[in-house]
Amino acid sequence: MRSPRIRPLDLTDHATAAAVHRIGLAAYAVEAELIGFHGIPALGESLGQMRAHASNWVGSVSEGGKIAGFLAWQERTDGGVGIDRLCVDPAWFRRGVASQLLRHALTDLFPGRPLTVTTGAANTPAVTLYARMGFTRGPDFSPAPGLRMASFSRP
């Protein structure tokens, strides 16, 4: 089976948006278990709320048209990029989808531009991924009681 291909995702298409929403809920449920915090805002987000985000979206899409994972980002006023979400369908875990999406972002979407991203500090797979991809860990912070987040940047 070939690796999924990266393509833009159109969240105005209901089927695409519904698949992205389902994958996000499943991925954030796994993260909630990893970090011991079940109040991740995206877990309570409706499909409409997700579609209303002013983000850009790309997906890793299999030959059969199934979305294996997605990356969403927002352009910052300083010319940098804030990665808003990087989610992989649990059925595609440990198959390189997150690495593929992040590599695409670094080389094709935002070459040479500063990037920032956050994840749960206890989310070891994500923390390891960002470090492996050349991100520098910044200070941890706690936006809510019981939640410790790790910040990363890449100049």
Given a cut of 70, whether residue 94 has pLDDT beyond it is yes
pLDDT tens sequence across 118-138: 999 999 999 999 999 999 999
For the chain, the average pLDDT equals 94
Q: What is the pTM of this model?
A: 0.94
Confidence of residue 146 (pLDDT cuts 50, 70, 90): confident
Buried b (16+ CB within 10 A) or exposed e, 130-150: beebebeeeeeeeeeeebebb
pLDDT the model gives residue 83? 97
Given a cut of 60, whether residue 1 has pLDDT beyond it is no
Residues ≥6 apart with Cβ < 8 Å to 55? 72, 73, 74, 84, 85
Residue pair 53/46 in contact by the 8 Å Cβ criterion: no
pLDDT the model gives residue 2? 65
77: Cα separation from own chain's centroid: 20
Strands annotated E in 30-91 = 56-61, 67-75, 81-88
Residue pair 154/141 in contact by the 8 Å Cβ criterion: no
